[in-house]
Structure 1
Amino acid sequence: MVSATGLPGRRGTLRIVMVAPPWYEVPPRGYGGIESMLAELIAGLSRRGHEVTLVAAGRPGTSARFLRTYASPPSGRIGQALPEVLHAARAHDLLAGIDADVVHDHSLAGPLTAAARTAPTVVTCHHEVDGEFGEYYRALGREVSMVGISAAQRRLAPDLNWAGVVHNAVETGSFPFRERKEDWVLWLGRFNEDKGAHLAVDAARAAGRRILLAGRITEPGEREYFDREVAPRLGPDAVYVGEADAVRKRELLAGARCLLFPILWEEPFGMVMIEAMACGTPVVALRRGAVPEVVADGLTGFVRSRPEELAEAVEAADGLDPRACRSRVRRRFDVEVMAEGYERVYRAAAAGPEGPAGVTGGTGEAVLPLR
């Protein structure tokens, strides 16, 4: 499919349909990493002159043309199959009347309808790519062009139909920069055991630092983990401050001496790391998943291999330059960089097999062959 302004030429306007997951609004009012990324990407693509249509649940909150699948997001049913499938069916029906150059699908079930679309489908893989998720994406075959959010993620399943890697990003200017920090450290995220909140408390306590913990506790598994591993560790030097909305999150990230990110799984990205660094706050993390791609060890934080090494890194983080953290985000993880990377992916997908030979993630760091 070719746009009226000359796609796949390098400068023509693209007509892009963005399909969000059904669980939260875009942008989210509280937690919602994918939805936050989507809102930023839509803004970046719109600034580059592209026409974006968003298919999502809830209320419109971006500059994109909005098509609704659910009046209210079914957030209380996360993990159930039917809301995801119904969302995909409604999105398919809504897209029947849309003339698009590319469909960028961020939902789980939506790519199942890719073969019925006239426009090519690009899928950003926000999940792990091993196990059943990998088998699912493998079964989709060449009906979709896969985009990884880190090179580490792609390496876990190199046989998938990868079109490239584009790192997630933030609007750097929307995060407050603070050079002078408070005398506490921060953990922020979902209270899933793989996120390592209990290890963050242990590391902060070993370093003699007070730690604040902010995050969501809504699912049964999150409550069970919090009650078992986190609550017994709380005290005057380890305080749970509740779930943080966008404003509170920025206050916490800007004020902390460092962000602790002691993940226990191969996390494909980790948005909170670049959000912290955008505020001038270094990150102390375990060497899993995309962490080494995101944190410049010794410059914007410290990357360690074992939990017992984190306490020393927390103390050393005081010596890092907050300006270096902010600068790295602006150069490598800003929305404009992400939008440029996706634009290249879209043009390559729209051009088809005879189009450009490769795409980049925008920074030049993650350059992967197309097909």
Structure 2
Amino acid sequence: MLSSMRKIASQQLKIALIAPPWFPVPPTGYGGIELVVSILAEGLCRRGHDVTLFASGDSVTQARLVSVFDTATFNKLKENVHLENIQSLAAYERAGEFDIIHDHDGYGSRLLGALTSRLLAKPVIATMHGPAEPYSLGFYQSLASDLLFVAISEYQRSSFSGIDFLATIPNAIKINDYPFSENADDYLLFVGRMSEEKGARQAVSVANKLGKKLVMIGKCSEANEIKYFNEYVKPILGNNTEYLGEVDLATKLELYRNAECLLFPIQWPEPFGLVMIESMACGTPVVAIRNGSVPEIVHHGRTGFIVEDEEGMVEAVKNIEGIERLECRKRVVEEYNEEVFIDRHELAYENALTLNGQRKAGLSAHRL
């Protein structure tokens, strides 16, 4: 636990946070990165830091909001993938105003950050929210001498070979927003996009084999998601499955709180599955396929079960009553609450400033 960690709040920092422009901060629906950025911005403001958030104009924050776009731009993503660079440039043009620039945006923004760090000797931190793909790994390795990288899981960190990370800071939630229940209704829950990566088809199959009710919520608005749903999910839906699409936060929390367990049949090595800690915060255990960060988040036999395949999920659900729901809640309170999250970031910022001072001293000595 980091609750007793020495804070650096006595040193008020001027911090720029760069969010992607695709969804508002916090998101009204889909948008995991935007949710995490919102928690960070509000927490840093509470600690007395001077925070400027670069995000879409429909964002809501206690920080100073700077917007290039009046509204979120996800509907323009396909026609112009460079919108994120335009927004990030607005932050980097003002780099001299900040002690720390913390970038949560995409690939192009990372390059802008590296140039800023090199030219202005300004510490730029980049949180990695995605996987280490072959086409991106070399790009990040080329920036490693200029940017300070933060991972969101140890699995993700280990997959970025050749990069020295400043810290590993898992995602977090505002624990008090998640209602706990010691009791559950008789249904399984799936939360995620309609995609093969998230395992929507596998979740339906597990419920069908068990003859149990399944409630599904998640995004299905893009062409590839609609195609996947129509081809692989819809044909196997039975009367036992209810697909609600995207729902508001209150509905999602109520579904988490009352579910018997969350099915997390993840089909790719996801760096961090936010829905797992959301579920456990409400006391709902997780049945997950072993992949990516799953073994770091779920304590097998205590907060859920980690299995190897769909058949393993079926057997795990049969034994889910052996999991104490209070243990699930405790796990999130100890490791994934917002105060621990802010503690970890303050320590990372302190270390970044120290490293940056050492780098500038080294540059000065070299010039002499």
- Structure 1-normalised TM-score? 0.89
Partner of 2:116: 116
Instruction: Please tell me the residue identity of whatever aligns with 2:98.
Output: A
In structure 2, the partner of 1:275 is 278
Whether 2:251 is the aligned partner of 1:253: answer no
Alpha-carbon distance change, 337 to 196 in structure 1, aligned in 2, over 3 angstroms:
same
Alignment of 1:89-100 (within 5 A): 89-93=89-93, 95-96=94-95, 99-100=97-98
Which SS does the other structure have where 1:285 is aligned? strand
Q: 2:313 aligns with which of 310, 313, 328?
A: 310
Question: What residue identity is the alignment partner of 1:88?
Answer: S
Q: Of 215, 218, 222, which aligns to 2:221?
A: 218
- State the shift of 1:85 in Å: 2.6
SS of residue matched to 1:318: helix
In structure 2, the residue matched to 1:285 is 288
The match for 1:203 among 191, 201, 206 is 206
Rounded Cα–Cα distance in structure 1 between residues aligned with 2:180 and 2:30: 22
The aligned counterpart of 1:81 is 81
- Matched to 2:75, the amino acid is G
Shift of 1:287: 0.5
What is the CA-CA distance between 1:318 and the residue it aligns to? 2.1
Equivalences for 1:287-302 in 2 at 5 Å?
287-302=290-305
Give 1:10 deviation, angstroms: 7.6
Which of 125, 130, 147 lines up with 1:127 in the alignment? 130
Determine if contact 2:19/2:55 at 8 Å carries over to the other structure: yes
Write out per-residue CA displacement over residues 48-102 of structure 1, whole angstroms, 9 at most, x where no aligned residue: 2222110011224111111002111111133542322322333334x25x52111
Distance 1:112 1:341 in 2: 25
The 8 Å contact of residues 127 and 133 in structure 1, kept in 2 or not, is answered as no
Deviations 1:4-60 (A, max 9, x none): xxxx96841222110000100000111100001111111222222222110011224
Q: In the aligned structure 1, how far is the partner of 2:51 from the partner of 2:357?
A: 25
In structure 2, the partner of 1:103 is 101
* DSSP-derived class of the 1:280 partner: coil
SS of the equivalent of 1:142 reads: coil
Superposed CA offset, 1:210-237 (max 9, x none):
1011111121111111111111121211
Structure 1 stretch displaced more, 312-321 or 280-289: 312-321
Structure 2 Cα separation of the partners of residues 350 and 99 of structure 1: 15
2:365 is aligned to none
d(CA) in 1 for partners of 2:310 and 2:49?
45
1:78/1:189 CA distance change after superposition, 3 Å: farther
**Corresponding letter in the other structure for 2:65:** F
Gap regions ≥5 residues in structure 1: 1-7, 356-371
Residue type of the partner of 2:335?
R
Structure 1 residue 238: Cα displacement: 1.4
Q: Is the 8 A contact 1:22 1:87 kept in 2?
A: yes
Checking the alignment, whether the CA contact within 8 Å between 1:54 and 1:64 is kept in structure 2 is yes
Superposition deviation, residue 178 in structure 1 = 1.3
**Which piece of structure 1 moves more, 311-320 or 129-138?**
129-138
Shift of 1:255: 1.3
| Aligned mates of 2:351, 2:205 — CA distance in 1 | 47
Q: CA deviation at 1:354?
A: 6.2
Q: CA RMSD of the aligned region, Å?
A: 1.8
TM-aligned CA deviation for residue 289 of structure 1: 0.3
1:90-140 superposed Cα distances (whole Å, 9 cap, x missing partner): 3334x25x5211110001122222222533110110011132222222222
1 CA distance for matches of 2:147 and 2:248? Answer: 34
The question of whether the paired residues in 2 share the 8 Å contact of 1:146 and 1:163 is answered with yes
Deviation readout 1:324-343 (Å, 9 max, x if unpaired): 11111000011111111111
Match of 2:361 in 1: none
User: What are the Cα deviations for residues 120-168 of structure 1, in whole angstroms up to 9, with x where unaligned?
Assistant: 1101100111322222222222211111000001111231231110000
Hey, what's the Cα distance between the residues in 1 that align with 2:52 and 2:349?
A: 14
Superposed counterparts of 1:348-363, under 5 Å: 348-352=351-355
Percentage of pairs with the same residue: 38
Which position in structure 2 is the counterpart of 1:231?
234
Question: Aligned residue pairs: how many?
Answer: 347
Deviates more, 1:28-37 or 1:124-133: 124-133
CA distance in 2, matches of 1:82, 1:341: 31
CA distance in 1, matches of 2:85, 2:12: 31
Q: Specify the code of the residue in structure 2 equivalent to 1:82.
A: H
SS of the residue corresponding to residue 145 of structure 2 reads helix
Q: Is contact 1:128–1:134 with CA below 8 Å preserved after alignment?
A: no
Aligned partner letter, 2:91: A
Shift of 1:353: 5.5
Distance 2:24 2:356 in 1: 35
In the aligned structure 2, how far is the partner of 1:346 from the partner of 1:89? 21
The equivalent residue for 1:21 is 20
User: Which residue of structure 1 lines up, in the alignment, with residue 350 of structure 2?
Assistant: 347
